[in-house]
């Protein structure tokens, strides 16, 4: 079914506005935390608006008719923000910063760090709503925030590229191998935390 182009573009305006506003909000929160604690847990932030093709495909996969209503109701990641940190211990800090913000409302959490996907994909996902002011009042727009380490982000990129090589389900043998090697990435995260703790101990002794 063909979606009305004008209605679609009008709807996307609010998603694009939400992305700009939420990115600014997160930048402010991170900067305020740095001033308060002297520490910035964030390495960098990536943002994106989901493509029309990806949105439509996701609706098809969920067996929903392609229209603006179903996009708004059932597609939570039209707006995507990815927060990358150095250490796995930074992730709870970033989650707390987000949860303590009065403008961001958490509607769903997915912990793929404690419960990795079958391929070994690890990340912490927050589905949130963020208010966008309009001439007719405020619209609460659903957005997805992903929080992961540099190592997890590397693995997610590999995982994504491999999955797109298969039009249907990934063969079990490939999934098993991916999960097996993902443990090496997880071990790197743990090792980096131990190294960081050693560095911090030396800094404390020197101060």
Which residues form the domain of 128?
A: 5-206
From 144, 173, 194, 204, the catalytic residue = 144
pLDDT exceeds 80 at position 152: yes
DSSP 3-state assignment of 84? strand
Of 37, 143, 45, nearest to 93 by C-alpha is: 37
pTM for this predicted structure: 0.91
- Position 162 scores a pLDDT of 81
Tens-place pLDDT, residues 18-39: 999 999 999 999 999 999 999 9
What CATH number does residue 34 fall under?
3.30.460.10
Give the model's confidence band at 1: pLDDT under 50 very low, under 70 low, under 90 confident, else very high: low
Cβ(148)–Cβ(122) under 8 Å? yes
- Position 43 scores a pLDDT of 95
Number of domains in the chain: 1
Instruction: Determine the average pLDDT of the residues in 77-103.
Output: 97
Mean pLDDT score of the chain: 92
Residue where the block lists tokens 């560095």: 199
Is 204 noted as a catalytic residue in this protein? no
Instruction: Determine the average pLDDT of the residues in 171-185.
Output: 86
Cα angle 90, 47, 36; round to 5: 40
- Position 17 scores a pLDDT of 97
Q: What percent of the chain has pLDDT over 70?
A: 97
DSSP 3-state assignment of 181? helix
Alpha-carbon torsion 51, 158, 113, 203, what sign? negative
- Position 125 scores a pLDDT of 98
- The CB density around residue 17, as the number of other CB atoms within 10 Å, is 17
Q: Which helix (H) or strand (E) holds 9?
A: helix 5-37
Of 40, 156, 23, 22, nearest to 87 by C-alpha is: 40
Tens-place pLDDT, residues 50-89: 999 999 999 999 999 999 999 999 999 999 999 999 999 9
Q: How far apart (Å, rounded) are the C-alpha atoms in residues 13 and 17?
A: 6
Give the model's confidence band at 167: pLDDT under 50 very low, under 70 low, under 90 confident, else very high: low
């Amino acid at each position: 079914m063909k979606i009305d182009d004008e209605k679609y573009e009008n709807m996307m305006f609010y998603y694009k506005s939400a992305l700009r506003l939420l990115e600014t909000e997160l930048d402010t929160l991170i900067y305020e935390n740095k001033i308060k604690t002297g520490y910035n847990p964030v390495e960098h932030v990536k943002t994106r608006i989901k493509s029309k093709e990806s949105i439509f495909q996701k609706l098809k996969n969920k067996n929903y008719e392609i229209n603006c209503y179903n996009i708004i109701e059932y597609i939570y990641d039209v707006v995507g923000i990815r927060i990358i940190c150095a250490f796995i211990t930074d992730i709870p800090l970033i989650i707390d910063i987000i949860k303590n913000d009065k403008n961001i409302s958490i509607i769903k959490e997915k912990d793929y760090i404690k419960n990795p996907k079958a391929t070994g994909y690890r990340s912490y996902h927050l589905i949130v709503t963020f208010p966008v002011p309009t001439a007719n009042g405020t619209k609460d727009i659903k957005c997805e925030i992903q929080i992961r380490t540099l190592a997890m982000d590397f693995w997610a990129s590999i995982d994504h590229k491999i999955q797109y090589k298969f039009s249907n389900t990934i063969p079990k043998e490939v999934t098993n191998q991916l999960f097996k090697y993902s443990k090496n990435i997880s071990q790197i995260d743990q090792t980096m935390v131990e190294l960081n703790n050693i560095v911090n101990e030396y800094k404390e002794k020197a101060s």
